[in-house]
Amino acid sequence: MSGFKFNLTPRAVPKVLTKYRCIKTKIPVPQSLKLLKKIKKYESSNVMDQLPVIWDHAEGYQVFDSWGNKWIDFTSSIFVTNAGHGNSRIIKRVKEQLDKPLLHSYSYPTPIRAAFLEKLISMTPSYLKKASLFSSGTEASERAIKLARYYGMQFTPRKAVIVGGEGNFHGKTMGSQMAGGQHDGKKWIGYLDPNMVHMPFPYPWALERSGLRGEALFFKHLKDLEKGGVKLNEIAAFFVESFQGWGAVFYPVDYIKTMRKWSKENKSLLVFDEIQAGFGRTGKFFAYEHYGVEPDMVICGKAISSSLPLSAVLGGAGLIELDPTYTSTHGGHPLVCAAGLGNLEAFEKDDLVAVSKRKEAVITRELARLKKRFPGRIGRILGKGMLFGVFVTKKNSDELDIDFTNRIVERAMEKGVFSICTGRGTIKLGPPLTIPESALVEGLRVYEECFEEMA
Ligand SMILES: Cc1ncc(COP(=O)(O)O)c(C=O)c1O
């Protein structure tokens, strides 16, 4: 968050009343401050670094407070509620489960667990045969790390190297954080696992600078690993975040294709972290499908339920069975499996992946309009489906303007649009896939208003 703090002094802002948005109070709402203070008193106070809106309820693509304000949501609660907040199919399934009642069942078998797993495996690519279930994304990442190591150690105990990507993210517990490539966040760990190494991320600008194609860059990165002391035949797995979240930055297709080919030839796994990327977000069921490769394992979370805490590792049967000690107290919880099942039913019946793909054209058109109006302030626009990153620069410069972007996000909130604050100088767009096109356009034009007033 770059040390930026949103303004917590209630101030009069112009009233907003449209079909989709309503701002009728000072912002932040004066009465909300008491609640914010209470949270700060009882919880790690950095939770207060978010936009100062107290969520009362959320439906579809809108967030409501209890003082009559409503926002168009461009966050999907950080890429969770892809099927829409409070999706009726999810609520129906959860209610059925509540009414039984069955509120916990450890890993004892339940009909809802079986129904969810069957649906999940039937809707994902055919080479993903089995899953193990958890609650958070980072737990699923930890599981994938463990399985990758078990896999490598079948050949030799030294085949334990996990190759991550610089700047990638897989979670905040020790193993996931070490596998991730955000090194500043690792200072607390102390002793870093020497068998977790990283290749540079082939950002589009790095590719442009190097003049290399993705394939050549992959081999260069591999060579550099080797020069750094990594024995390539000891690589158990490549862990790939399907795109880097802060800017919707994808890998070059030929880079990943080459990684797939090399890893297959060298008995290493290819693992995609789809925790943020999956479930229709990018106009395909999984974002890695844009690369045209078949991975060995896929890590899921967030929008796998569009609601309650559920995560999973998916893979071939042989891989998922490698660790016979798997348990997770809350993994496969009956309520979350019910939510997961309702979510997948929504994806199937409402064809949400196609919906996401279709709306890509609306976002692209509107963002092109924004760039045309403010060429000195908008750099790259990256993304696919319903996931975009708008790079906001200092005036007529390539340098990202983090402070200005944070203020745009704050101003948009004052106008009834709730956005993600990346703290990196990008506006990251991720509305629920169910958002009507007219609300999508209205929300995107609010950014235009913000630029008009502030650029
Ligand atoms: C790509 C990616 N991996 C892992 C995680 C960690 O998930 P969780 O916060 O559920 O542990 C996130 C969360 O933002 C993520 O975006």
Q: Does residue 273 lie within any of the structural domains?
A: yes
- Domain around 94: 88-349
Q: Does residue 258 lie within any of the structural domains?
A: yes
| Minimum CA distance residue for ligand 1 atom 13 | 171
Is the same domain home to 25 and 146?
no
Last residue within a domain, chosen from 349, 382, 398: 349
pLDDT exceeds 70 at position 297: yes
When pLDDT is averaged across residues 177-187 and rounded to a whole number, the result is 97
pLDDT tens, position by position, 239-257? 999 999 999 999 999 999 9
For 70, the 3-state DSSP assignment is strand
201 CA distance to ligand 1 centroid (A)? 18
* Helices vs strands, H then E, count in the chain: 14, 19
**Residue 245 Cβ contacting ligand 1 at under 6 Å:** yes
Is the same domain home to 66 and 110?
no
Split at pLDDT 50, 70, 90, the class of 46 is: confident
Split at pLDDT 50, 70, 90, the class of 122 is: very high
Average pLDDT in the chain = 96
Which of ligand 1's atoms lies nearest the C-alpha of 168?
1
Given a contact cutoff of 8 angstroms between Cβ atoms, the answer to whether 370 and 390 are in contact is: yes
Q: Does residue 40 lie within any of the structural domains?
A: yes
**Residue 301 Cβ contacting ligand 1 at under 6 Å:** yes
Is the same domain home to 338 and 363?
no
Is the same domain home to 208 and 301?
yes
pLDDT exceeds 90 at position 162: yes
**Residue 60 Cβ contacting ligand 1 at under 6 Å:** no
The pTM of the full predicted model, rounded to 2 decimals, is 0.97
Is the same domain home to 260 and 281?
yes
When pLDDT is averaged across residues 168-183 and rounded to a whole number, the result is 98
With the most atoms of ligand 1 within 8 angstroms of its CB, the residue from 138, 246, 306, 428 to mutate is 138
pLDDT tens, position by position, 279-291? 999 999 999 999 9
| Minimum CA distance residue for ligand 1 atom 5 | 171
Is the same domain home to 334 and 195?
yes
CB-side neighbour CA atoms (13 Å) of 361: 4
| Minimum CA distance residue for ligand 1 atom 10 | 137
pLDDT tens, position by position, 214-234? 999 999 999 999 999 999 999
Instruction: Give how many domains the chain has, as a whole number.
Output: 2
**Residue 52 Cβ contacting ligand 1 at under 6 Å:** no
141 CA distance to ligand 1 centroid (A)? 9
At residue 2, the pLDDT reads: 57
At residue 1, the pLDDT reads: 47
311 CA distance to ligand 1 centroid (A)? 10
Is the same domain home to 326 and 371?
no
Q: What CA–CA distances, in Å, run from 83 to 16, 113, 285?
A: 27, 20, 12
pLDDT exceeds 70 at position 80: yes
pLDDT exceeds 60 at position 57: yes
**DSSP per residue, 271-309:** EEE-TTTTTTTTSSSSGGGGGT---SEEEE-GGGTTSSS
